[in-house]
Structure formats: structure tokens, C-alpha cells
Amino acid sequence: MNTIKFFRYESFIVVGIIMAVGALIKLLGIYNFSSDWFWLFAGVGLVVEGIISLVKQKKFDKKYKIIDRNGKEIN
């Protein structure tokens, strides 16, 4: 569970900052690098966001049970 704790919102913010700074550096002409690096970080950001959502959903599902109007549990 320690590796999951690493993928919290802080890592998503770090990926976003790297993307923003990288795009700014390229736009200002300081360094010209391949746009593939931008999309690599975008993909990493999506993976981190997906992991965060998955962990939060599993915690929610363990805490609460969803039932329909007839009282039957929905899986």
C-alpha cells in the first residue's frame, strides 16, 4: 500500500508543473525538444489521475454499499 500512497495528488501536480514548464521553455525558444516528451508526461499524468480515482473509488466502495429501492445490494 506504500506505493499507492506515492500516487497521490502531489504526484499529479508535479507532472502538471513539468508539463507547463516544459511547454513554456519550448514556447520561449530556450530549448527545442520533441513534442513526444510533452505527450509522454501527459500520458503519465493521466495514469496518475486514473490511479488516484481508482484508489478513491475502492475506498468508497468498501465504506458504503449501494442498494436499490427494493433493498437489494448492487455490486
Q: Give, for all 75 residues of the chain, the pLDDT tens digit.
A: 555 565 567 777 888 888 889 889 988 999 888 888 888 888 888 888 888 888 888 888 888 877 777 777 776
The pTM of the full predicted model, rounded to 2 decimals, is: 0.63
Q: What is the DSSP letter of 61?
A: H
At residue 28, the pLDDT reads: 92
In degrees, to the nearest 5, what angle opens at C-alpha 58 toward C-alphas 71 and 70? 5
Phi, psi of 73 (to 5 degrees): -75, 135
Q: E strands, the chain, where? A: none
* Alpha carbons 24 and 26: distance in angstroms, whole number: 5
Q: What is the DSSP letter of 72?
A: P
